[in-house]
Amino acid sequence: MSNSPDVQHPSRDEAFQSAVDLARHILENANSYHALAAEDFPGRDRMRFAVLLVMLEEAGKMLNMVRECERAAKADYLSVRIEDYNDNCLNGRRALGQILEELRIMDKAFEALGKGEVERMPEPAFLREDFCTLKERVLYIPLDRSKRDTSFIPSGELMDRLAGTIERNAVAAGSYLHDLGRALGLWITLDLEPRKEGGSHSIRYV
């Protein structure tokens, strides 16, 4: 096994485009997440959670790339330093921490604006599990029956809040990189946008 660090240096143009590609990929996965919720069937929440975990992993990559693209643009670097892109577990944990903090801030802001007392978001049970094993545990069934517990899968309501926050970050990242890129003479755009019509669980990005 190689112990070499996971560090890549794509050109600035390539990094900007890859970050927007990540945002698009997250929104494509969001479409799958919502399509799975359209009907109730055995295994639905398990598969929705699996898609949500992938969205978290890619959100972590995207958020890091946006920061590094911004840094490169301000310093006029011709390449962008990207670390730990292939570490899905690390990226997922980083994104989860940021997403949960954003939700807490939103709840506090809702109360401060006098919109009524907000029920505090309970700590998700899966935070007490090893994040790096969650995706495999929900996708595959182990032979050992004692290891088949999936009670850590969050409620549909909590998953929707997490997914919605990830989606907003992806849309915002696409818009920000478009504007930042224009200042550098780049023309990159997130070619998915929220659908104007549709139910709470339908294809949202077209």
Dihedral angle over CA of 142, 146, 148, 152, nearest 10: -140
pLDDT cut 90: percent of the chain above it: 79
Helices (H), the chain: 12-36, 44-75, 88-112, 131-139, 156-183
User: Tens digits of per-residue pLDDT, 133-152?
Assistant: 999 999 999 999 999 999 99
Q: Judge residue 62's burial from the number of C-beta atoms within 10 Å of its C-beta, 0-12 exposed, 13-18 middle, 19 or more buried.
A: buried
Among residues 30, 53, 38, the alpha carbon closest in space to that of 170 is found at: 30
CA–CA separation, 88 and 74 (whole Å)? 28
How high is the mean pLDDT of the chain? 92
Residue 126 predicted with pLDDT over 50: yes
Nearest-5° Cα angle at 53, 48 to 54: 100
Average of per-residue pLDDT across 22-48 = 95
Average of per-residue pLDDT across 45-57 = 98
Those residues with Cβ within 8 angstroms of residue 94's Cβ, 6 or more apart along the chain or in another chain: 60, 63, 64
Handedness of CA 95, 100, 101, 106 (dihedral sign): positive
Residue 161 predicted with pLDDT over 80: yes
pLDDT cut 70: percent of the chain above it: 93
CA–CA separation, 90 and 127 (whole Å)? 14
User: Tens digits of per-residue pLDDT, 89-102?
Assistant: 999 999 999 999 99
Residue 2 predicted with pLDDT over 80: no
pLDDT at 195: 85
Q: Model confidence at 1, in pLDDT bands (50, 70, 90)?
A: very low
Helix (H, G, I), strand (E, B) or coil at 96: helix
